[in-house]
């Protein structure tokens, strides 16, 4: 199976909410989907060109000279539905923290404990962010048919952050006797 560009899915998804410039697209993906997705300019520009050639998006006059706003077409909406229906491609995880802990004896137990404490602090901040995001979205998107779907993604972030915090406690206990 030819590897599909995952970028197309995110780009078309974002454009399905409203027309945008490439720049705004990246902002939107970072700000709205940022908890579970990311795209770089290096991918967005060529992807928009490809989508334009396929007729899935149309280029309109942008907010300033030489600037373009992209609009999703009917065929683009259909293509988005197709892409969303494709089986999920799981990218192999690379967890730098766990790799360091696995070779923790080489790194040293003090360093390991520092890394875990850092991870806990990060997770606590992230958990607070998710709690606030939930409140904000509940108010701003109240009544929207998209609300329950958006809430599932925020819930995933919350559960993940909570699990991380719980894990750091157990990990510190496990390393208690380690040299």
Which is it for the CA torsion 134, 139, 142, 145, positive or negative? negative
**Count of residues near a copy of itself by CB under 8 A:** 63
Q: Is residue 31 part of the contact set for DNA (CB under 7 A)? A: no
Task: From the list a copy of itself, DNA, none, pick the one residue 125 interacts with, judged by a Cβ distance below 5 to 8 Å according to partner type.
Answer: none
Which is it for the CA torsion 95, 127, 157, 130, positive or negative? negative
Q: Is residue 42 part of the contact set for DNA (CB under 7 A)? A: yes
Q: Which of 31, 53, 66, 142 binds DNA (CB under 7 A)?
A: 66
Q: Is residue 62 part of the contact set for DNA (CB under 7 A)? A: yes
Q: Which of 34, 36, 54, 63 binds DNA (CB under 7 A)?
A: 63
> Cα 27–28–34 angle (5° rounding)?
90
To DNA, the closest distance from the beta carbon of 135 in angstroms equals: 25
Of 64-72, 128-136, 147-155, 169-177, which segment contacts DNA by CB under 7 A?
Answer: 64-72
89-128 binders of a copy of itself (CB under 8 A): 89-107, 111-112, 115-116
Q: Is residue 145 part of the contact set for a copy of itself (CB under 8 A)? A: yes
Q: Which is nearer to a copy of itself, 10 or 57 (CB)?
A: 10
User: 20, 51 in Cβ contact below 8 A?
Assistant: no
Q: Is residue 19 part of the contact set for DNA (CB under 7 A)? A: no
What b/e sequence results for 3-36 when a residue is b if at least 16 CB atoms lie within 10 Å of its CB, and e otherwise?
eeebbbbbbbbbbeeeebbbebbbebbeeeeebe
To DNA, the closest distance from the beta carbon of 133 in angstroms equals: 20
Question: Phi-psi region for residue 58, left (φ > 0), alpha (ψ -120 to 50) or beta?
Answer: beta
With CA atoms as reference, report the closest residue to 97 among 174, 176, 171, 154. 171
Task: From the list DNA, a copy of itself, none, pick the one residue 22 interacts with, judged by a Cβ distance below 5 to 8 Å according to partner type.
Answer: DNA
């Amino acid at each position: 199976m030819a590897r599909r560009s995952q970028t197309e899915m995110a780009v078309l998804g974002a454009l399905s909410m409203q027309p945008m410039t490439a720049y705004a697209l990246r902002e939107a993906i970072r700000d709205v989907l940022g908890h579970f997705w990311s795209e770089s300019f290096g991918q967005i520009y060529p992807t928009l060109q490809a989508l334009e050639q396929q007729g899935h998006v149309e280029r309109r006059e942008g907010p300033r000279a030489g600037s373009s706003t992209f609009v999703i077409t009917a065929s683009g909406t259909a293509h988005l539905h197709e892409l969303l229906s494709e089986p999920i491609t799981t990218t192999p995880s690379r967890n730098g923290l766990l790799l360091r802990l696995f070779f923790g004896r080489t790194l040293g137990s003090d360093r390991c404990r520092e890394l875990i404490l850092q991870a806990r602090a990060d997770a606590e901040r992230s958990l607070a962010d998710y709690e606030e995001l939930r409140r904000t979205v509940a108010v701003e998107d109240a009544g929207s048919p998209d609300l329950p779907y958006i809430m599932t993604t925020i819930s995933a972030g919350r559960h993940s952050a909570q699990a991380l915090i719980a894990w750091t406690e157990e990990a510190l206990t496990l390393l208690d006797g380690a040299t």
